Amino acid sequence: MKFVDRYPIIVTPKLRECRDFWIAHLGFEVVFEADWFILLQAEGASLAFMSPDHPSSPPGPETFSGQGMCFELQVEDATLAYEACLAKGLAVDYALAEEPFGQLRFGFFDPSGLWVDVVEQTEPAAGFWDRYMTVAA
């Protein structure tokens, strides 16, 4: 199987708010837009939003509840991304933090309730992963 693209589709009645949020704060662009579906892209990342009353099937028309999903945006420089987002007026819910497991990250919610985690991979604290590793018998 050769993939052309891959992206989650978030079912939400807040299509336009989500579109405007991702364009204004994260530099995404509209690739396709209809009354019930919007596909956005930015530098190799894609994301779509679909109205709960969409005419396609499957999937079902269930509206995203805002729980159980995290959208990761891995960046080269999380500090620069953090400063750029703040300068654009983004309300950050998890301030930039150096995590012992090997990430510099910050996070926020979009209008659909989707948690967005912006991460830069870093070196983990010495020994952090030791307790999680298993040795094959």
38 lies in some domain: yes
126 lies in some domain: yes
Helices (H) and strands (E) in the chain, counts: 2, 8
90 lies in some domain: yes
- Residues contacting residue 42 through CB under 8 Å, at least 6 positions apart: 22, 26, 27, 28, 29
137 lies in some domain: no
The predicted model scores a pTM of 0.87
Q: What is the CATH number of the domain that holds 85?
A: 3.10.180.10
2 lies in some domain: no
Residue ranges making up the domain that contains 88: 9-132
User: Distance (Å, rounded) from C-alpha 29 to C-alpha 85?
Assistant: 16
Exposed e or buried b per residue across 104-120, where buried means at least 16 C-beta atoms within 10 angstroms of its C-beta: bbbbbebbbbbbbebbb
4 lies in some domain: no
3 lies in some domain: no
Number of compact structural domains in the chain? 1
42 lies in some domain: yes
33-72 tens-digit pLDDT: 999 999 999 988 999 999 988 887 666 668 889 898 999 9
Please, which residues bridge with residue 71 across strands?
Answer: 116
User: Distance (Å, rounded) from C-alpha 28 to C-alpha 114?
Assistant: 16
From the list 28, 69, 33, the residue with the least C-alpha distance to 45 is 28
74-121 tens-digit pLDDT: 999 999 999 999 999 999 999 999 999 999 999 999 999 999 999 999
